[in-house]
Amino acid sequence: MAERLSDFLMQLPPARLAIDYGEQAISVGQLQDDSARLASGLRGLGITAGDRVALWLPNIPAWLSFFFACARIGAIAVSVNTRFRAQEVEDIVGRAGCRALVLWPGFKAIDFSGILSEVTPGALAGLTDIITYSEEPAPAPFALGRCRITPHTDLLASPPDRSPPAPADARCVIFTTSGTTKAPKFVCHQQWGVAQHAREVAVGFGFDAPGSRVMQALPLCGVFGFTQALAALAAGAPMRMVPVFEAREVAALLHDEHITHMNGGDDMLVRMLAERPEPQPFPALKFFGYAKFNPALDDLVATAEARGIVACGLYGMSECHALFALQPRDLPGVERAKGGGALVSPQAGVRIRDPDSGEVLPPGAQGEIELRGPSLFCEYYGNADATREAFTHDGWFRTGDLGYLEADGRFCYVTRMGDVLRLAGFLCSPQEIEAVLETHPAVSGAQVVGITLAQTPVAVGFVTLREGAAFDEQALREWCKARLAGYKLPRRLFTLEAFPTTASANGTKIQRAKLRELAARLCA
């Protein structure tokens, strides 16, 4: 039966420990009560079913409380990365038509007020309310134009919400995905799909085993961290939550607090291992499920195994949720090192199809990975054309990933079929960076490609200049720095007379492979 998220939360045992956060031990009952009070407070602000509420927060328990509060009302939580700058916030909060924005002024010295002040006037016309969170005795003052400012403690003082909760098919969360277009798409999920996937991950990843404890260092604003947190709740496995990932701190927690489960990027594990000299630094860890973000870390499984850690490749994306598949821990290392794996949901399916002929391919043959299952998104919010194009005529989701089937039914992810960049663990569109470069008055055109420098994926940009303009690499980098999250900043920028192109039946195309070769040569 399709499940409402209000039922998902309220059916959990109230006395159960849900989250360890700093010195706080937060029970399921507190999470239930906080979310019910926040829902009542949001209703008091005029938030109703279908409204969008942007969560611009780090990893804190209140993120989950606000999410469940929105779900109870039928409002849609819009995830916003705390590392985003004005242009990104303007696009996401403005284009999604958010009514309310929740933020923590002063967190990590981030100038949220300054960032919002740089937003184009009128771009956030639909924003009526800002809700401020704080853990300081004297919260930082905050103001933004005509918006009503409400401390989140005021909402918590509301009586618990008693209104009928939203139905299972209500939209509940939006994640942004860069894809290959300049504007991120809004990946929207329904309540029942979120709840069902959480329960299936809880079993498939072993969170439901007695004594399980989950390290919640992945950001809740991304589908990776979000899925893990919901699955931990479903399993009854307490989460050790930290606001941001700091390798030394998390490594110490893994060792001292006997954490049994953690998922993350490959670079996260490498950085944690570097902080602990012991031969077996994390003896309680059953396995580390990792996403292959850094192509220079191909030896991760062997490196981890030498330190007593079983590392297992996994697979997921915003459209199907994270933790969609996992390489079984009993496989040889060479198999566990592959992305992809065995499907977590018994109702899910995977096939490989030739993108040109449409033929469904047998095991071993490479083609586009296509998926179906209960965790698939319901729509690209506000973009019916993109939603329609994302699915085949018989209802399978086109992932845009290259892969193949294994003989035992698993699948293997090879790479993105397009030119999407993976920077600092985040999926980034090169076109988004190019669009920012092209707004500079000296630039007539821009192309951005990804290469690996010192075992780290970085972006490198090429620009063509307007007539009479001079090339100033540092000025262009500063231009980008003011408009993009730091991890999207091109490591180097170069100027070209013209981009390399090739003629095809579909028109003239820029040869991005040649640009990557040139970038690697110039940056060597």
Of 171, 195, 276, the closest CA to residue 12 belongs to 195
Alpha-helix runs per DSSP H in 257-353: 266-275, 300-305, 333-336
Neighbours of 484 (CB within 10 A): 23
Longest dimension (CA), the chain: 70
Query: Each residue of 157-170: b (16+ CB within 10 Å) or e?
Result: ebeebeeebbebeb
How far is it, in rounded angstroms, from Cα 184 to Cα 469?
Answer: 31
* Rounded CA separation 139/331 (Å): 51
Residue 221 contacts residue 79 (beta carbons within 8 Å): yes
Separation of alpha carbons 53 and 504, rounded Å: 45
Q: What torsion, rounded to 10 degrees, do the Cα atoms 57, 264, 247, 483 define?
A: -50
CB neighbour list of residue 116: distance below 8 Å, 6 or more residues apart: 86, 89, 124, 144
Tokens encoding 64: 């989950």
| b/e per residue 228-252 (b: at least 16 CB within 10 A) | bbbbbbbbbbbbbbbbebebeebbe
Q: Return the structure tokens found at 141.
A: 């003052």
Distance from CA of residue 404 to its chain's centroid?
24
Q: What is the pLDDT along the chain (524 residues), one digit of tens a residue?
A: 699 999 999 999 999 999 999 999 999 999 999 999 999 999 999 999 999 999 999 999 999 999 999 999 999 999 999 989 999 999 999 999 999 999 999 898 888 988 998 999 889 999 999 999 999 887 777 888 889 999 999 999 999 999 999 999 999 999 998 644 467 899 999 999 999 999 999 999 999 999 999 999 999 999 999 999 999 999 999 999 999 999 999 999 999 999 999 999 998 999 999 999 999 999 999 999 999 877 668 799 999 999 999 999 999 999 999 999 999 999 999 999 999 999 999 999 999 998 878 999 999 998 999 999 999 999 999 999 999 999 999 999 999 998 999 999 999 998 777 667 878 877 677 888 998 999 999 999 999 999 999 888 999 999 999 999 999 999 999 999 999 999 999 999 999 999 998 754 344 568 888 999 999 999 98
Half-sphere exposure of 177 (CA within 13 A, CB side): 26
Residue type, 340: G
Map out the domains of the chain with their CATH numbers: 5-190 (3.40.50.12780), 245-416 (3.40.50.12780), 421-523 (3.30.300.30)
Name residue 371's beta-bridge partners: 350, 397
